[in-house]
Amino acid sequence: MRKLPSTVSLALALLALASAPAFAQIATVAGRVRTVNNQSAPNVVVIALDHNGRAVDAAVTNHSGHYLIKNIPAVGHYHFVLDIPGTEYQSGATSLDLKKADHRTLNWTISTDEAAVPTK
């Protein structure tokens, strides 16, 4: 059996590193949107914006108010904005610093009287 030259071995090793799974380079943010009366809030759009204000990904809450944004490019400062179409509920925004492979939880409370606020 022939041994590969060290430059070929090194090139193969670098190629393997460069083609590492993309999921290791992204962050996810998940959570739940509820009203001040603790009711689920379906059909709320949660938008992730980069530091330049460009939308990088978004999700819509399901019937129980849960959402998952799973394709956020890792490492950076992101703004999260709620868009609540067709209701009297107020939108809201907050910011998070995300790191490589972060899996963060961001829950929200919405109201008709005040801007939506992130909650624990």
Per-residue pLDDT at 17: 42
Range of the domain at 62: 22-119
| pLDDT tens-digit map of 23-79 | 458 899 999 999 999 999 999 999 999 999 999 999 999 999 999 999 898 789 999
Domain assignment present for residue 3? The answer is no
| pLDDT tens-digit map of 94-111 | 999 999 889 999 999 999
Domain assignment present for residue 111? The answer is yes
Domain assignment present for residue 1? The answer is no
Domain assignment present for residue 66? The answer is yes
Residue listed under structure tokens 């809450």:
61
Per-residue pLDDT at 7: 53
User: What is the DSSP secondary-structure string of 12-43?
Assistant: HHHHHHHT--GGGGEEEEEEEEEETTS-B-TT
* CATH code, domain carrying 39: 2.60.40.10
Answer yes or no: pTM beyond 0.85.
no
Q: Residue 18 — pLDDT band, cuts 50, 70, 90? A: very low
Has residue 9 got a pLDDT over 70? no
Number of domains in the chain: 1
Domain assignment present for residue 105? The answer is yes
Domain assignment present for residue 16? The answer is no
Per-residue pLDDT at 41: 96
Domain assignment present for residue 109? The answer is yes
Domain assignment present for residue 11? The answer is no
Mean pLDDT of 8-34: 64
Q: Which residues contact 107 (CB under 8 A, 6 or more apart)?
A: 31, 32, 33, 34, 118, 119, 120
